[in-house]
A and B are shown apart, each in its own frame.
Chain A
């Protein structure tokens, strides 16, 4: 009799016989995550800049977008796009829902990150740019945003990691992503142990390098920010 343990070796063998299924799911998760990330960045920059503008309407639009998507669960947004919009006559493919749903949701978070980045640049710089005749778009493009990027990169990578993990909600709407494949295999073969461990490892493989890179980058930035003043012995003597 084979071992009945959920993690028994024969279950792993059976699982790796089906590696193609997991490979396809993994690939689809990567595709959706990559496209959703691009969308989230574009939306985040647009609405982030909006929320720091002097125009009340633009600030209002950005506020509504951020508050709506940050304060409703992603699961409900996805479920609505899948069933609600289909009833209304708009039938988006699951892939498109994945990219749009996850992209728009994280766009709201990225927008907040971008906003914080912009407001962390001292106002004096804007005033200086204005006094030199820079227009709004010009000083954003040449002065503010380049400095912002350095500040917001670490929190942005955290958002990317979350985005990758959040694509797993697509399993709920039969999205054929990694989580869906894991669920499907776990429940049809009853080999839930290996199935979920493998899916977890694959997600880890995607997220861990990103998170590590972000941590390293942040450390390097901190080192760069320490001012290195040439040491002058005579100055020490000054009382």
Chain B
């Protein structure tokens, strides 16, 4: 028994050490040849996108294709990097899978409503923000809430890995009220919890909320903590992230991205 445990412990340590040492190796080589060359060589840009967020990345059930604002961003990037708008390959991701997929090299970029934070910059490279959105609250009409101030002691449903929890907590502290949070893996799960009365408000970025608005619910006018979405890439793919950053900045400067935002009607 004791022997087995010690063997296990040693294995764990070895695993961690191996992971650490391999990281230094790969970062050394990666900075020299860069992920950009690999993308150009492969001739296809592999990108992780959402497939369950209306207007940003949603699978069209008729055609089977994923469509939305973020897919148009991918087309823009593929066009600039590879000279072909359609030289991309989409992988549907969730908040839980987008990090691991980037790390293990399954995708080159993630364009999936990924909010930029200082903490996350330690783990991934983020481009200039291509979209800015604030957190909003979706509530049931018959509950009669006018704003967060009316929600003392209520439960707010948020998505895992979303930054909305901290944002709302800060505002609630400022108002001197107490709210609690329940986290869910996907947006439809939060909507189900709102419908069944498990949570009193559905709190995510305003533009995403728009996709879940129906006859029984209403979006409150309050907006908190602007969230910036950026294109994420592996921390050591410096060449690729610099190129992407340049194209996103360019797209903002020449109004292309503004045009795409209007095309998808994203301003709520």
- Interface positions of A (Cβ within 8 A of B): 1-9, 12, 82-84, 86-87, 91, 172-174, 180, 183-184, 186-190, 192-193, 197, 201, 212
Chain A residues contacting B195 (CB-CB under 8 Å) are 83, 87
Q: Which single member of B160, B198, B235 contacts A184 (CB below 8 Å)?
A: B160
Question: What are 13 A-B contacts with C-beta separation under 8 Å?
Answer: A7-B16, A7-B23, A9-B16, A83-B198, A86-B198, A174-B182, A183-B185, A184-B183, A187-B95, A188-B160, A188-B165, A190-B123, A190-B124
CA of A103 to CA of B96, assembled, Å? 29
Contact (Cβ within 8 A) A82 B196? yes
Contact (Cβ within 8 A) A2 B122? yes
Contact (Cβ within 8 A) B193 A83? yes
Chain A residues contacting B124 (CB-CB under 8 Å) are 4, 190
- Interface positions of B (Cβ within 8 A of A): 1, 12, 15-16, 19-20, 22-24, 27, 95-96, 99-100, 103, 119-120, 122-124, 157, 160-161, 165, 182-185, 189, 192-193, 195-198, 234-236
Contact (Cβ within 8 A) A7 B19? yes
Chain A residues contacting B184 (CB-CB under 8 Å) are 172, 174
CA of A32 to CA of B124, assembled, Å? 37
- Nearest-Cβ distance from residue A176 to partner chain B, whole angstroms: 9
Contact (Cβ within 8 A) B96 A86? no
- Nearest-Cβ distance from residue B120 to partner chain A, whole angstroms: 6
- Nearest-Cβ distance from residue B102 to partner chain A, whole angstroms: 10
Contact (Cβ within 8 A) B161 A91? no
Contact A192/B182 with A9-B20, A82-B198, A184-B160 known, Cβ cut-off 8 Å = no
Chain A residues contacting B95 (CB-CB under 8 Å) are 187
Chain B residues contacting A87 (CB-CB under 8 Å) are 195-197
Residue of B nearest to A176 (CB): B182
Chain A residues contacting B197 (CB-CB under 8 Å) are 86-87, 91
- Nearest-Cβ distance from residue B23 to partner chain A, whole angstroms: 3
Chain B residues contacting A4 (CB-CB under 8 Å) are 23, 27, 103, 123-124, 234-236
Residue of B nearest to A11 (CB): B123
Best-surrounded residue of A7, A87, A212 (most CB of chain B within 10 A): A7
CA of A238 to CA of B126, assembled, Å? 90
Q: Which single member of B15, B157, B165, B196 contacts A7 (CB below 8 Å)?
A: B15
- Nearest-Cβ distance from residue B137 to partner chain A, whole angstroms: 17
Best-surrounded residue of A174, A183, A186, A212 (most CB of chain B within 10 A): A174
CA of A83 to CA of B184, assembled, Å? 13
Q: State the 8 A-B residue pairs at the shortest beta-carbon distance, nearest first.
A: A187-B161, A5-B23, A4-B235, A174-B182, A7-B19, A86-B196, A83-B196, A187-B160
Chain B residues contacting A174 (CB-CB under 8 Å) are 157, 182-184, 193
Contact (Cβ within 8 A) A5 B20? yes
CA of A131 to CA of B15, assembled, Å? 65
CA of A84 to CA of B157, assembled, Å? 17
Contact (Cβ within 8 A) A8 B23? yes
- Nearest-Cβ distance from residue B260 to partner chain A, whole angstroms: 27
Chain B residues contacting A189 (CB-CB under 8 Å) are 119
Contact (Cβ within 8 A) A172 B22? no
Contact A212/B1 with A7-B20, A83-B196 known, Cβ cut-off 8 Å = yes
CA of A58 to CA of B139, assembled, Å? 47
Chain A residues contacting B119 (CB-CB under 8 Å) are 189-190
Chain A residues contacting B189 (CB-CB under 8 Å) are 172
Residue of B nearest to A189 (CB): B119
- Nearest-Cβ distance from residue B253 to partner chain A, whole angstroms: 29
Contact (Cβ within 8 A) A192 B100? yes
CA of A198 to CA of B53, assembled, Å? 31
- Nearest-Cβ distance from residue A104 to partner chain B, whole angstroms: 20
CA of A189 to CA of B165, assembled, Å? 13
CA of A173 to CA of B95, assembled, Å? 17
Chain A residues contacting B103 (CB-CB under 8 Å) are 4, 6
- Nearest-Cβ distance from residue B203 to partner chain A, whole angstroms: 13
Chain B residues contacting A192 (CB-CB under 8 Å) are 96, 99-100
- Nearest-Cβ distance from residue B14 to partner chain A, whole angstroms: 12
Chain B residues contacting A186 (CB-CB under 8 Å) are 96
- Nearest-Cβ distance from residue A197 to partner chain B, whole angstroms: 8
Residue of B nearest to A6 (CB): B103
CA of A140 to CA of B38, assembled, Å? 72
- Nearest-Cβ distance from residue B227 to partner chain A, whole angstroms: 14
Given contacts A83-B193, A173-B198, 14 further A-B contacts (CB under 8 A): A2-B122, A3-B27, A6-B99, A6-B103, A83-B196, A84-B196, A86-B196, A187-B96, A187-B99, A187-B161, A190-B120, A190-B161, A192-B96, A192-B99
CA of A2 to CA of B198, assembled, Å? 41
CA of A25 to CA of B182, assembled, Å? 14
Best-surrounded residue of A8, A9, A188 (most CB of chain B within 10 A): A188
